[in-house]
Amino acid sequence: MNPVPVYSGQLPPYDAAHYNAARQNLVKTAELIIPPRSGATFTVPAKNFFRIISIEGPQVGDLNLWNAHDISERFFSGKTRALHATHVTTGDRLWSTLPHLRPLATITHDTLSWYGFDEDGAGVHDVIGTRCDPYTNFLLHGTHYDYCCHSNLTRALAAEKNWTFAEAEPHIHDVLNVFMCTGFTGAKHQYFMKASPVRPGDYLEFCAEIDLLAALSTCPGGDCSTTHSSDSAPCFPLKVETFAPA
């Protein structure tokens, strides 16, 4: 028997004309540079836009999203993957956790949409991987490294909320891997990564569907072509810009 999609119903269609019209006359409201191997938070009001931008070199970013007024509602990468695909692009939505299950943000422009899927089956902007973290790194390598994306995101949220690390950590969740190029191996279907095609000037743009609190980590893996969870990979900053409709 032929396989069938797990979710075969119809999602609300992406209204490209609406979003394209809204993004024609955007007014920049804020700008943030996130240094390498670091993390920061930012807020985006509903119906405003934000961009994650490559500015100096190939760099992957790990993104968390929460309802700005109730962070128990947060990005649900697994459901986003099930409703859309393993990798997301223009027109896809980032869905929130149950019982809310609503779009937190919609992707409105992707300068890497040309990449598609390559000969290895890899694509960009994945909702497969969870985020690099110190616990898995210690499990596999027996070493301590405290600038993994999990730790960077936790410190950023703790600073935003004036919480301790322990208070913030349970709210960190599986990410959107912005600019990361990944897939599954043919033989064992193992998750793999390869060099990101992102270059300075590339960006991923979103429209916030509700008031958002966001956190972004500049992954210690850099372009994630060889390794992560160490200081060995070349890393670069990422820029976040937020915009209001004119």
Distance between the two ends of the chain, CA-based, in angstroms?
52
Element (DSSP H or E) covering residue 136: helix 134-141
Please give the pLDDT value at position 228. Answer: 87
153-199 pLDDT, tens per residue?
999 999 999 999 999 999 999 999 999 999 999 989 999 999 999 99
Whether 76 and 240 have beta carbons less than 8 Å apart is answered as no
Please give the pLDDT value at position 8. Answer: 83
Task: Judge residue 190's burial from the number of C-beta atoms within 10 Å of its C-beta, 0-12 exposed, 13-18 middle, 19 or more buried.
Answer: exposed
Please give the pLDDT value at position 167. Answer: 98
36-52 pLDDT, tens per residue?
999 999 999 999 999 99
Beta bridge partners, 95, equal 103
Give the dihedral sign, CA 46/38/90/88.
Answer: negative
Whether 217 and 39 have beta carbons less than 8 Å apart is answered as yes
Domain ranges of the chain: 25-245
Give the whole-angstrom CA distance, residue 23 versus residue 10. Answer: 26
Classify residue 229 by its DSSP letter: S
Helix, coil or strand: residue 37 = coil
Cα separation values, 41 from 44, 111, 157, Å: 10, 23, 7
Give the residue from 213, 177, 214 showing the smallest Cα distance to 196: 177
Give the residue from 149, 145, 133, 114 showing the smallest Cα distance to 40: 149
199-241 pLDDT, tens per residue?
999 999 999 999 999 999 999 999 999 988 889 899 999 999 9
Please give the pLDDT value at position 9. Answer: 85
Please give the pLDDT value at position 230. Answer: 84
66-107 pLDDT, tens per residue?
999 999 999 999 999 999 999 999 999 999 999 999 999 999
109-165 pLDDT, tens per residue?
999 999 999 999 999 999 999 999 999 999 999 999 999 999 999 999 999 999 999
Q: Please count the other Cβ atoms lying within 10 Å of the Cβ belonging to residue 83.
A: 18
Q: Is the pLDDT of residue 18 over 90?
A: yes
Helix, coil or strand: residue 206 = strand
Please give the pLDDT value at position 136. Answer: 96
Cα separation values, 206 from 14, 30, 108, 110, 128, Å: 13, 15, 5, 9, 19
Q: What are the counts of helices (DSSP H) followed by strands (DSSP E) for the chain?
A: 5, 13
* Residue ranges of E strands in the chain: 26-34, 39-44, 49-54, 61-67, 70-74, 93-95, 103-110, 123-126, 176-184, 191-194, 203-208, 212-218, 238-245
pTM over 0.85: yes
